[in-house]
Amino acid sequence: MDPVIAAAARALAAGDPLGALNRVALRDDASALALRGIAMAQLGDLVRAKALLRRAARAFGPDDAAARARCVVAEAEVALVARELGWPAKALDAARTTLERHGDRVNAAYARYLEVRRLLLLGRLDEAERAVAALDASPFPPAARAAHELVLAGIALRRVRTKPARAALARAERAASDAGIPTLTAEVERASLVLTTPAARLIGRDTERLVLLEEVEALFTSNTLVGRAFGAKRADESHRARLRVEVGRLRTALRTLAGLNATTRGFVLAPRRAREVVVLAPPVEDEHASVLAFLADGESWSSSALALALGASQRTVQRALDSLAAAGKVQSLGRGRARRWVTAPVSGFTTTLLLPAPLRPG
């Protein structure tokens, strides 16, 4: 291998994009273009990174199928960071197959991790679990092992399983330390904050308090009837009409757990076997808390990506974003199709419970 290219690749692997650029910034051969693209991605210039990676893929010759596949994987990672969740999964899967055929198991596995991370953002946890279960990360280098453990932790957190999440994060921390990449260590630290910051408000008969995710998990295995209040807060005549229709269905669904009794102030749950009834509410009160939950990861999102992740129409999401922008809670960058939305992380709170996932005990 070209010694300059090899040195630039080592710099990128160590999390030193400027060191890599110093070596290949003036070169336009395929390998240099690919490395420049990855370096620009690490520096946060995702638009330039995507353009360079596409140029690199075109520049590699017909005998460089594995190199072109690595460019596809790198571009998929850029798309994931840019929250372009509609990128073609088939192209990434084809690239993974090519890399496996050429014996590049590490990059093939990384392609799998990118797909799993996309599935996590979309709340498709069963698919994510099946995909990651097929991987054995033990022979991989530390950075890849850290990525593997972060995926496992992400699935466990979305399942509200704090013990396996804590164990996976501990393994990710060790692997990140072995890799010696500061940005990877910082990513593990950010993920670990979910376990130590409030995940919900617990509302009982005589109390209301913030609870950690671990306490939420304990509630699911206790003799307590737990309800969630993570939806709309404003009622109109349409809501009231639907409520009258749905109460009968709800009584049927809850018949083994609780009665649903009408009172002058509304409806009251009367548990049949549970000791008490509590409600889990968002840690922060906001009509558009679910939108804020995604934006709180610090990345920039398009309205179309948010709509895909939330399972809502783009018009509904755009109205929510406009409302949040008017309240000074989010801001937009760019115009037209390049428009992205960002916000600062919600200080002191975790938004795990607001993300789409089958919330269930165990």
* Domain shared by 175 and 271, yes or no: no
* Domain shared by 116 and 17, yes or no: yes
* Domain shared by 253 and 113, yes or no: no
351 domain-assigned = no
pLDDT of residue 350: 59
Domain end point (choices 164, 195, 226): 195
pTM: 0.76
* Domain shared by 75 and 178, yes or no: yes
Strands (E), the chain: 200-203, 208-211, 224-228, 258-263, 266-271, 276-281, 331-333, 340-342
Q: What is the CATH number of the domain that holds 181?
A: 1.25.40.10
* Domain shared by 86 and 186, yes or no: yes
Give the pLDDT band (50/70/90) at residue 236: low
* Domain shared by 142 and 256, yes or no: no
| Nearest alpha-carbon partner for 291 in 348, 239, 337, 356 | 356
Give the pLDDT band (50/70/90) at residue 127: very high
Q: In Å, what is the CA distance from 92 to each residue of 121, 204, 258, 281, 356? A: 17, 48, 48, 38, 24
Q: Name the one residue in this structure whose structure tokens are 């850290």.
A: 146
Look up the domain containing 216 and give its range. Answer: 200-281
**pLDDT of 250-309, one tens digit each?**
777 777 787 777 777 777 777 877 778 888 777 776 678 788 888 877 778 888 889 888
Number of domains forming the structure of the chain? 3
Asked whether residue 161 carries a pLDDT value surpassing 90, the answer given is yes
Give the pLDDT band (50/70/90) at residue 362: very low
96 domain-assigned = yes
pLDDT of residue 360: 43
Alpha-carbon torsion (152, 309, 159, 186), positive or negative: positive
3-state secondary structure 211-280: ECHHHHHHHHCCCEEEEECCCCCCCCHHHHHHHHHHHHHHHHHCCCCEEEEEECCEEEEEECCCCEEEEE
* Domain shared by 163 and 130, yes or no: yes
* Domain shared by 207 and 245, yes or no: yes
Paired with 56 in beta bridges are none
Domain end point (choices 195, 214, 240): 195
pLDDT of residue 359: 42
* Domain shared by 15 and 140, yes or no: yes
Asked whether residue 97 carries a pLDDT value surpassing 90, the answer given is yes
Residues with Cβ within 8 Å of residue 265, at least 6 apart in sequence: none
37 domain-assigned = yes
Question: Which residue type, as a one-letter code, is found at position 275?
Answer: R
**d(Cα 187, Cα 112) in Å, to the nearest integer?**
19
**d(Cα 178, Cα 358) in Å, to the nearest integer?**
34
Q: DSSP letter at 87? A: S
Mean pLDDT of the region 190-215? 87
Give the pLDDT band (50/70/90) at residue 98: very high
30-42 and 65-81 helices cross at what angle (nearest 10)?
Answer: 20
* Domain shared by 137 and 42, yes or no: yes
* Percentage with pLDDT > 70 across the chain: 90
309 domain-assigned = yes
Asked whether residue 358 carries a pLDDT value surpassing 60, the answer given is no
| Nearest alpha-carbon partner for 330 in 315, 135, 322 | 322
160 domain-assigned = yes
* Percentage with pLDDT > 90 across the chain: 37
Mean pLDDT of the region 57-84? 91
**pLDDT of 46-67, one tens digit each?**
889 999 999 999 999 888 999 9
355 domain-assigned = no
**d(Cα 355, Cα 309) in Å, to the nearest integer?**
9
DSSP codes, 336-358: GGG-EEE----TT---GGGSSS-
Give the pLDDT band (50/70/90) at residue 228: confident
Q: Quote the mean pLDDT of the chain.
A: 84
356 domain-assigned = no
Mean pLDDT of the region 226-254? 67
Inter-residue contact 122 to 306 (CB < 8 Å)? no
pLDDT of residue 361: 40
Domain end point (choices 195, 224, 241): 195
